[in-house]
Amino acid sequence: MNNSIYRHAARVALLLAIAAPLAGQTPRVLHLDARKAGAVVQPTMYGLFFEDINFAADGGLYAELVKNRSFDFPQRLMGWKTFGNVEVTTVNPPFERNPTHVVLSYPGHDHKYSGIENEGFTGMGLLAGASYRFTVHARATAADGPRKIRVELIDTRDDIIAREEITIPSTAWEKYTVILRPRATETRGRLRVFLASRGAVALDHVSLFPVDTYKGRENGLRADLATLLEATRPGVFRFPGGCIVEGTDLATRYNWKNSIGPVENRPVNENRWHYTFPYRLFPDYYQSLGLGFHEFFLLSEDIGAEPLPVLSCGLACQFQNSGEECHVPVDALDEYVQDALDLVEYANGDPSTPWGSRRAAAGHPAPFNLKYIAIGNEQWGKEYVDRLEVFVKAIRARYPAIRVIGSAGPYAEGEFFDHLWPEMRRLKVDLVDEHYYKGPEWFLANASRYDAYDRRGPAVFAGEYACHMPDRANSFLAALREAAFMTGLERNADVVHMATYAPLLAHVDAWQWRPDMIWFDNTRAAATPSYLVQQLFSLNKGTRVLPLTCDGKPLAGDDGLYASAVRDDVAGCYIVKIVNTSAREQPLRLVIDNARGKYALLPDATVTLLAAPPDAVNTLDRPDAVAPVTAPARFTGNALETILPPGSFAVYRARYK
C-alpha cells in the first residue's frame, strides 16, 4: 500500500470508529420516510454488459489457452510456429466449417522432429500443480501402424514444465485427451506438439483448457473472472456487444447461429476490434465463438441474471458504413428477422421444436426463460427506425411476451437521440438503450437526469456507461462520479429498469478501450473502483425506492453530496447510499421517519465505506488498494449521526425485521 492510500485508510477507520459529528459542526439533516414506498426497483436494475473487446472472450473469460486452435484464421498459421515437415491442408477435413488442419510427417531422420508450437494469447497462464486438459482431433494418415505425438508445456526459458504422450492408432478422425500438470507456474507459457514416431499424423482443433474452469465445465470459463462477475449478483446480462453485434461490415457481424453447436464446427469470425483503432491494432484478434450464445445463456443462468441478447438489425456499424449498399435493405430483412425469432425458440422452445432441440442437444433441455431481446446496438436515423419496425412487428406477432429493446443511438443527447426517442415511443418498444461515455462533470450534472424524465415510457436501459477521465484511468475519482450518477438512476427506478457499465473486461497486454470494469492478465484479475461501485449498488439494490430528502428536496449535488434510498422488503432493511464528491468531511444526521410497527428499527445497522485518494487505482499487483470497509453504524432512536469522509461512498443498512 502506498503512503497516501495508507493514510487514507487509517483516516477512514478512525471516522468509522467515532461515527459521530465533530464538535462544533452542524450536521446536514437527511430525512428518510420509511413508509412512503415509491417505485419498485426492478430485479434487473444493475447488471453486466459483456462484449468481446480487449480480448475479453478468446484470451480472457473463455478459458481456451490456444490461439487459432482450428488453423482457420485467414493467415492459417497465425499463433503457431512450425518445425520439420508440416503441411497445412483442407483435404479430408474433420469439420466442414473449419476445414483447415495440419499434417505432421516424418522429417526424414530419427534425430529430427516435425511439430507445431502455439504462443497462446500473449502467452499461456499455467499454474504449478493445476491440471490442464489437452485435446486434439487426430488421425494417422495411413494404416501402417500407430502414431505417437508428444505434448509439452514450455516456459519462457524454454524448459519443459509438463509432458505427455498420446498414441493415435486409427486412420479415422478421433478426439484424444490427456491431462498435463505443470511443475512450475508460468504466465507466458506455450504449447508444443510434435510427432514422436514414424509416419504422418493429421491434427485439428488443438485445444488446452484448465480443468478447473468456472463450474468445472469443459469448454468453460476462467474461474477467477467468472467468479468476479457472479460476485456482483447482476440482475441482467447483456451480450454479445456492442459494436461487435454490427461488425465492421455485415460479413463480420455477430451471427448467433454460428456460435452454437459443437465448438469445433463454429466458424472463425474476424473480431471487429482487430482494427477499429489504428493506433492499437490487433491483427491476431479473431472470434473462435467457443464462448457463444449457448454459453452466454448458461452464464446468465449461473450468475442469476436475465439474459439480454442484442441482435443485428441489418445495419453494419454506421460509424464505418455510410452507403445504403453496406446494409441490408428494409425489404430484405427476412433472414435477420428469422434469426431473432429462432433465437427465442432456441432459448425458450420445447425440445420438440427445431431450435429448442438444438438447445437440448447442447445439454440444456430446460428453457432459458428469455424475456428480453435488443435489436440493434448504437444505431440511428430513419434507416434504423425503418428496420426496427419490421422486427418489432414480427416479434410482437409471434412472441408478444418478449420485451423488445431499441436504441437511443451512440450519444446521451443531441440530434440522433432527439430523433430516436419519439420514434421508440411510436414503435412502443419496452426499453430504450442509452449510452454515455462522458467526463466527470457530465456524471455529476446528470445525477438528476431522470428526475424530470417523461414517465410515459418506454423504460430506460442505461446499457453502456463509464466516466472517462482525461487520462482514461480507472481511478477512484471516476468511480465516485459514477456512484453519484447512479444515485439518480436509483431514485428514478420507475424510469430506469436496467444499467450496465461498459466495457466489462480488458487484458492488460491486449486492450483497445479504456476504462474498463475488470483488468486481467494471464493468471490474475483486478476489480477496479468502478467494479466496487457497481457491486455495492447491486448488492444493495433493495426492492422499493424510498424518498430521501434534505430540506424537502432530493440530495443531488448540494455541497457535492448525492444520495438515494431504498427499502429491501426481502432482507427487511433500509438502505441509504450517500456519495461525498467534495474534498471535505461532511457531518450528517440521517433520520428515519415513520419507522414504527413492523418497520421499527432494530439496533444492528452497518455502514460500508469506499474511500480513497482521487487518483487511487487497483492494479494486478495491488488489487485491493481500493476496497470497501464495513463497520457497525450506531442509531440513537431513529437517527444516526456520522461524518462522511472527503471523496467517499457510504452505504448504510439498517434492519427493521
Residue 271 found at the interface with ligand AHR (CB under 6 A): no
Residue 311 found at the interface with ligand AHR (CB under 6 A): no
- The β-bridge partners of 650 are 578, 609
Distance CA 84, CA 201 (A): 13
The answer to whether 59 touches 290, Cβ cutoff 8 Å, is no
Phi, psi (rounded to 5 degrees) for 511: -95, 155
Nearest approach, Cβ of residue 246 and ligand AHR (Å): 8
The DSSP output letter for 21 is P
The answer to whether 408 touches 417, Cβ cutoff 8 Å, is yes
Give me the half-sphere count of Cα atoms (radius 13 Å) on the Cβ side of residue 425: 9
Element (H, E) at 425: helix 415-427
**Which span (98-106, 238-246, 412-420, 449-457) binds ligand AHR, by CB under 6 A?**
238-246
**Which span (125-133, 235-243, 298-306, 545-553) binds ligand AHR, by CB under 6 A?**
235-243
Based on CB atoms, which residue is closest to ligand AHR, 56 or 86?
56
Residue 410 found at the interface with ligand AHR (CB under 6 A): yes
Residue 242 found at the interface with ligand AHR (CB under 6 A): yes
Residues 6+ apart with CB under 8 A from 492: 39, 450, 451, 453
Q: In the stretch 15-54, what mask flags binding to ligand AHR with x, by CB under 6 A? A: ------------------------------------x-x-
Identify the active-site residue in 51, 119, 295, 378: 378
The DSSP output letter for 621 is S
Is-catalytic flag, 378? yes
Residue 378 found at the interface with ligand AHR (CB under 6 A): yes
- The amino acid present at 516, given as its one-letter code, is D
Binders of ligand AHR among residues 441 to 470 (CB under 6 A) are 464
Residue 243 found at the interface with ligand AHR (CB under 6 A): yes
Nearest approach, Cβ of residue 503 and ligand AHR (Å): 4
Based on CB atoms, which residue is closest to ligand AHR, 504 or 633?
504
3 state SS of 484: helix
Distance CA 171, CA 178 (A): 19
Based on CB atoms, which residue is closest to ligand AHR, 6 or 277?
277
Residue 377 found at the interface with ligand AHR (CB under 6 A): yes
Residue 502 found at the interface with ligand AHR (CB under 6 A): yes
Residue 513 found at the interface with ligand AHR (CB under 6 A): yes
Cα dist from 335 to 67, 160, 268, 597, whole Å: 31, 50, 21, 59
Based on CB atoms, which residue is closest to ligand AHR, 152 or 464?
464
Question: Which residue from 234, 290, 488, 503 is in contact with ligand AHR, where contact means CB under 6 A?
Answer: 503
Based on CB atoms, which residue is closest to ligand AHR, 115 or 406?
406
Nearest approach, Cβ of residue 605 and ligand AHR (Å): 38
Instruction: Tell me whether strands 459-467 and 431-438 are parallel, antiparallel or unpaired.
Output: parallel
Total residues at the site for ligand AHR (CB under 6 A)?
12
Task: Identify which of 416, 434, 8, 71 has the alpha carbon closest to the alpha carbon of residue 268.
Answer: 71
The answer to whether 507 touches 478, Cβ cutoff 8 Å, is no
Active-site annotation, residues: 378
Q: Which residues bind ligand AHR (CB under 6 A)?
A: 51, 53, 241-243, 377-378, 410, 464, 502-503, 513
